[in-house]
Amino acid sequence: MWCEGRGRERNPFRCFCMGNQGNLTSNKTTLLKNTVTRFHHTSISHWCSCSKTISDEKYQDPFQLGRKDLKNLYEDIKKELLVSAAELKEMCDYYFDGKGKAFRPMIVVLMARACNIHHNNSKEVQASQRSVAIIAEMIHTASLVHDDVIDDANSRRGKRTLNQIWGERKAVLAGDFILSAASVALARIGNTTIVSVLTQVIEDLVRGEFLQLGSKENENERFAHYLEKTFKKTASLIANSCKAVSILGCPDPKVHEIAYQYGKNVGIAFQLIDDVLDFTSCADHLGKPTAADLKLGLATGPVLFACRQFPEMNAMIMRRFSKPGDVERAWKYVLQSDGVQQTTYLAQRYCHAATREIRKLRPSPEREALVHLTEMVLMRDK
């Protein structure tokens, strides 16, 4: 390995909470940005014991660096969705309009290049690795379609959801069709190990949805339950996609573990910040209604942290905020607590772990872009 660093955290559900970080000010968004900024100004050399291996290269913009490999991404996805029925085609194309940031495919192609360079200094992304990026975006989009049906959501990415336009039944079928097309593309890669790795994602998505439907009365069990759900619903796709491209590009199992751990930690951090934004971002900016999780009866990180300061929230959590006034009261408790700050700090810790992992690969622009990506995850506002 290029840099062993400090020992890896192998438990994907360990809570990195580090005690009380102080109360929030009334301006939650400003505090969030200030907290993250202080984290960014921490010396990178503190993130890895082998600081001499850290490249002096200027950080690379992940989206600029990955643009070449993602060119025509959505056109290629639409080719996988060839169907004669006009209505089904229109539904399948609805979210693949090229307006998304392609966050997951971008991580996948950057990881592919970083692993290829680490192994044999190859700077090209293999066709099979790019296929993994396409498949990851298709699985992700299919899961969004199904989630919107389950949640009876009316907006996604700033526009109406499929279930609002075409109805629940047709939306479910459209999600199924996208998932089946992804499975066909996966089989075409012709590697049974890759099939096994990526089908784990589909299983995790289903298990994560079931976890989200349940609650735990014990506070410690509740947080572990939340992090496990977060891993399965969000991080598993990123972790296993990163692992898949590392397997295709490098025979070293240690590299496969690095790729997986990076993706897992970034994925969990991404969702933690998403849960923070549900309390700090306006609906127009986020592209979906704020307080959406509370209205769905979900206790996310900010709520669980707030519950430690306001134990009266326990009853609301167990009844899933179903009584009149529960959502409003819970919202106020979160904003009066340090729940947003604690959740943000927890996301920082996961990004710290992701950075520690990726720095074990040989220096490359792609490696540095993946480091920079952890900062972008923390600083995003939608």
Place of tokens 């099979």: 128
Which residues on adjacent β-strands are paired with residue 160?
Answer: 155
Could you give the maximum distance between any two Cα atoms of the chain, in Å?
Answer: 61
Comparing CA positions, the residue from 55, 28, 65, 20 lying closest to residue 369 is 65
Which fold is adopted by the domain 14-31+57-379? Farnesyl Diphosphate Synthase (1.10.600)
Report pLDDT digits (tens) over 368-379: 999 999 999 999
**Calpha distance 224→228 (Å, rounded):** 6
Place of tokens 């840099």: 3
Comparing CA positions, the residue from 305, 298, 312, 371 lying closest to residue 344 is 305
The H-or-E segment that residue 156 falls in is strand 155-156
Comparing CA positions, the residue from 108, 78, 103, 95 lying closest to residue 143 is 95
Assigned token pair, 361: 């690969």
The H-or-E segment that residue 160 falls in is strand 159-160
* pTM to 2 decimal places: 0.83
DSSP 299: -
Query: DSSP H helical segments within the chain, as ranges?
Result: 28-40, 62-70, 73-80, 86-93, 103-120, 127-151, 162-166, 168-189, 192-212, 219-230, 236-249, 253-280, 283-286, 292-295, 301-309, 313-318, 326-336, 339-358, 365-379
pLDDT along the chain (382 residues), means of 10: 38 41 38 42 32 45 87 92 83 83 94 97 94 97 94 86 94 95 96 97 95 79 94 98 98 98 98 94 58 91 96 93 94 95 98 98 96 94 78
For residue 337, the SS3 value is coil
Assigned token pair, 166: 């075409």
Q: What residue ranges do the domains of the chain occupy?
A: 14-31+57-379
Non-local (6+) Cβ contacts of 61 within 8 A are 369, 372
Assigned token pair, 91: 């539904």
Say if CB 303 and CB 339 are below 8 A apart.
Answer: yes
Predicted local confidence at residue 38, as pLDDT: 40
Assigned token pair, 219: 């506070």
**Calpha distance 27→231 (Å, rounded):** 30
Predicted local confidence at residue 288, as pLDDT: 54
Non-local (6+) Cβ contacts of 378 within 8 A are 36, 39, 40, 269, 273, 344, 347, 348, 351
Assigned token pair, 103: 């966050």
- Residue 373, Cβ neighbours under 10 Å: how many? 27
Place of tokens 């590299």: 255
**Calpha distance 337→303 (Å, rounded):** 9
Say if CB 343 and CB 378 are below 8 A apart.
Answer: no
Assigned token pair, 382: 């939608």
Position 253, amino acid: P
**Radius of gyration of the chain measured on its C-alpha atoms:** 20
Predicted local confidence at residue 66, as pLDDT: 86
Comparing CA positions, the residue from 174, 172, 173, 176 lying closest to residue 149 is 172
Predicted local confidence at residue 59, as pLDDT: 62
